[in-house]
C-alpha cells in the first residue's frame, strides 16, 4: 500500500474517532457505538466527497435526537445524511444513493 493511501486511511480513522467522541459527548446510546453497521456506515459517510467532519460534529451536537440504530448500511447512510443535512439549504446538502 502506498504511503499516500496509508495517510488517507489514517486520516479517515482519526476523523471517525473524533466524530465518535462527539457522539459520546452528545449522549448517543453507547451500545450504538459498538455496532459494526453503525460505525462502518459512519466511516463510509465521512468518506463521501464534500463531507466535512467538523460540520458533522456540529450537526450531531445540534440534533442528536435524529441518531438511531439501523439494521443495515443503507438505512444508516440515510440517517447520517439526515443528520448532516439538518437545516441546510438544498444546494449545500449531501445526497446518498442506495
Domain that holds residue 66: 3-87
The pLDDT of residue 58: 97
Residue 22 lies in a domain: yes
What's the total number of domains in the chain?
1
Residue 95 lies in a domain: no
Residue 43 lies in a domain: yes
The string of pLDDT tens digits covering residues 32-82 is: 999 999 999 999 999 999 999 999 999 999 999 999 999 999 999 999 999
User: Band of the pLDDT at 98, cuts 50, 70, 90?
Assistant: low
The pLDDT of residue 49: 92
Q: Is the pLDDT of residue 1 over 90?
A: no
Q: In Å, what is the CA distance from 90 to each residue of 46, 59, 87, 95?
A: 19, 16, 9, 10
76, exposed or middle or buried, with CB in 10 Å at 0-12, 13-18, 19+?
A: buried
The pLDDT of residue 46: 96
Residue 30 lies in a domain: yes
Residue 93 lies in a domain: no
Amino acid at each position: 500500500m502506498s504511503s499516500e493511501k496509508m495517510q488517507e486511511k489514517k486520516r479517515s480513522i482519526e476523523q471517525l474517532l473524533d466524530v465518535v467522541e462527539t457522539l459520546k459527548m452528545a449522549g448517543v446510546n453507547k451500545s450504538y457505538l459498538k455496532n459494526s453497521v453503525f460505525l462502518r456506515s459512519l466511516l463510509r459517510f465521512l468518506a463521501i466527497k464534500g463531507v466535512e467532519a467538523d460540520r458533522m460534529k456540529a450537526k450531531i451536537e445540534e440534533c442528536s435526537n435524529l441518531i438511531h440504530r439501523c439494521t443495515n448500511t443503507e438505512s444508516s447512510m440515510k440517517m447520517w445524511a439526515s443528520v448532516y443535512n439538518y437545516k441546510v439549504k438544498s444546494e449545500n446538502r449531501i445526497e446518498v444513493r442506495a
